[in-house]
Amino acid sequence: MSSISLRQIKKSFASLTILQSVDMEIETGEFIVILGPSGCGKSTLLNVIAGLDDCDAGKIVIDGKDVSGLEPSQRGLAMVFQSYALFPAMTVRRNLSFGMEIAGTPKQTIAEKVAWVAKLLQIEALLDRKPSQLSGGQRQRVAIGRALVRSSSICLFDEPLSNLDAKLRAETRVELKQLHETLRSTMIYVTHDQIEAMTMADRVAVMHKGKVEQFAHPQLVYEKPASLFVAGFVGSPAMNFLEGRLDGNGNFVTGQIAIDVSLYEFSEPPQDSEVVLGVRCEDIAVVEGTAPNSVPANLAFTELLGADALGWFDSFGQRLSARLSIQTARTVGKNVALSFNISKASIFSKESGLRL
Ligand X SMILES: Nc1ncnc2c1ncn2[C@@H]1O[C@H](COP(=O)(O)OP(=O)(O)OP(=O)(O)O)[C@@H](O)[C@H]1O
Distance of alpha carbon 101 from the chain centroid: 36
Q: Shortest Cβ distance from residue 165 to ligand X (Å)? A: 19
Nearer to ligand X, 38 or 262 (CB): 38
* 39 binds ligand X, rule: CB under 6 A: yes
Q: Shortest Cβ distance from residue 224 to ligand X (Å)? A: 24
Q: Shortest Cβ distance from residue 231 to ligand X (Å)? A: 19
Per DSSP (E only), the strands in 171-292 are: 186-191, 203-208, 211-216, 240-246, 251-254, 257-260, 274-279, 284-287
* 38 binds ligand X, rule: CB under 6 A: yes
> What kind and span of H or E run contains 9?
strand 4-13
Region of 31-39, 58-66, 237-245, 299-307 interacting with ligand X (CB under 6 A): 31-39
Q: Shortest Cβ distance from residue 194 to ligand X (Å)? A: 13
Q: Interface mask (CB under 6 A) for ligand X, residues 272-311, using x and -?
A: ----------------------------------------
Rounded to an integer, what distance in angstroms lies between the CA atom of residue 303 and that of residue 234? 20
**Which residues sit opposite 285 in a β-bridge?**
339
Rounded to an integer, what distance in angstroms lies between the CA atom of residue 135 and that of residue 118? 16
* 192 binds ligand X, rule: CB under 6 A: yes
Question: Binding ligand X by CB under 6 A: which of 18, 26, 149, 242?
Answer: 18
* 43 binds ligand X, rule: CB under 6 A: yes
Q: Shortest Cβ distance from residue 269 to ligand X (Å)? A: 36
- The β-bridge relationship of strands 203-208 and 211-216 is antiparallel
Question: Binding ligand X by CB under 6 A: which of 4, 22, 30, 41?
Answer: 41
* 160 binds ligand X, rule: CB under 6 A: no
Q: How far is CA 242 from CA 204, 235, 249, in A?
A: 26, 17, 19
Asked if residues 196 and 189 have their Cβ atoms less than 8 Å apart, the reply is yes
Among candidate residues 339, 336, 216, the one with its CA nearest the CA of residue 279: 339
Which residues would be at the binding site for ligand X (CB under 6 A)? 13, 18, 36, 38-44, 192
